[in-house]
Each structure stands twice: as C-alpha cells, then as structure tokens.
Amino acid sequence: MVSRLSSVAAALYASLALGGAAVAATPQELQVSNTSVVMDHVIIETSTRYQLVTTRLNAELKRFDASYRKLLEEDKLVELHAKLRQGLEPDGFMIHFVAEQGGLLALEGGHQQGNVYYHGNVVAAAQMTKLNFGAALYAPLRLSVYENAHSGTTFEYDKPSTQFGQFHNADIDKVAQSLDEHLLRLIKKVSA
C-alpha cells in the first residue's frame, strides 16, 4: 500500500513539475531507423577576392524576411506567390540567414573571413516537403563561403541532389537537380 501511494505521489509530483500536464501511465514506444547517406561534397576555389564575392552574393540574392512570413500567417497566398516569384529572381534563391562563422573563430583565438549562407528556394522546398516532410531537413541549403590561403574565395556545399536523393522520389530528384544547376550557376556568376 505504501509503495502504491509513493507511485501516485511521484506521478502527481511529476505532473505538477510539468506544469500540470498529465503523465502517461506507460511510456510511449519509440521506433528508430537509420539510413546511411552518401553526399557529394563540393569545393570550388576562385581567385576572386572574398570581399567582392560576398558583396556580389549579398546584392544578387534577396532576403527571405518577415514580410514573407507575415503574408503566410495572414493566409495571403496569392500575394505570397507573387512576392516569392519576384524575390527568387534572377537566380532562384533567397538568403534566409547568414551565420558569421569566421568571426566566431575568435572564441578559439583565430579569425578568418567567412560566412555560411542559409539560402534556398521556398517554392522548391515546399514542393519537396509536400512529397516527403523529411526533405525539410535540407531546405534551406547551406553554402560556406570563405577567404582562402591564396587571397581568393572558397565555396563549399553538399550537392542538393545527393542530399535529397536519399528520399528515392523522382519528383524530388528533379527539383534537387535543378537546385544543383542553379547553385553552380550562382557561384560562377558571383566569382566572375
């Protein structure tokens, strides 16, 4: 009887600690699966100076900012589609976020000019995510851009077609292949 009361008291205490949320009597079963994925990691070096490349990249790609999210929240989908078409021109990508990784090297006593651009095509991401929600893990894409030892610029990224290829879906593969092409074209453009 004392043991049963202690269990009830423990459950009540846990429930209160969780803000009054109910505590299930039995734990939920988890099903875990793992898939090995082979990625094509691309490294492109150019003699074009980092500052020029990043200036061009920032001028070329528009920002996916709060104004787009606001249209989505207000369910203004026609306006959102029109704004996205315009925002994705001319290269098919928008910047979602820029992580200033080079500056963070100060935590380790170093410094290097370099950023990681979280960029992508929201329309393409929605198409792929509709087919397999797991595709959202790879959208937006990431592009590492940094000054190299030769005073030029290095780009590194995982090829979208190999990231999304793990879903074994021909429609996702087609979109991912177009992302490969757009990304390489963008890199060549800002490096010229």
Give a yes or no: residue 158 inside a domain.
yes
Contact 98, 63 (CB under 8 A): no
16-66: pLDDT as tens digits? 445 545 445 567 899 999 989 999 999 999 999 999 999 999 999 999 999
Instruction: Please tell me whether the peptide bond between 90 and the residue prior to it is cis, using omega within 30 degrees of 0.
Output: yes
Give a yes or no: residue 161 inside a domain.
yes
Give a yes or no: residue 27 inside a domain.
no
Coil vs helix vs strand at 89: coil
- For residue 61, give its domain range: 39-191
Q: What percent of the chain has pLDDT over 90?
A: 81
Give a yes or no: residue 75 inside a domain.
yes
Q: Which domain CATH number covers 174? A: 3.30.310.70
Mean pLDDT value across residues 156-180: 97
* CA distance linking residue 118 with residue 120, whole number of Å: 7
Number of domains in the chain: 1
Give a yes or no: residue 93 inside a domain.
yes
* CA distance linking residue 32 with residue 52, whole number of Å: 46
- The pTM of this model reads 0.81
69-83: pLDDT as tens digits? 999 999 999 999 999
Give a yes or no: residue 2 inside a domain.
no
Closest CA to 117 of 106, 129, 102, 130: 102
Give a yes or no: residue 138 inside a domain.
yes
**Paired tokens of 152:** 């030029």
Give a yes or no: residue 31 inside a domain.
no
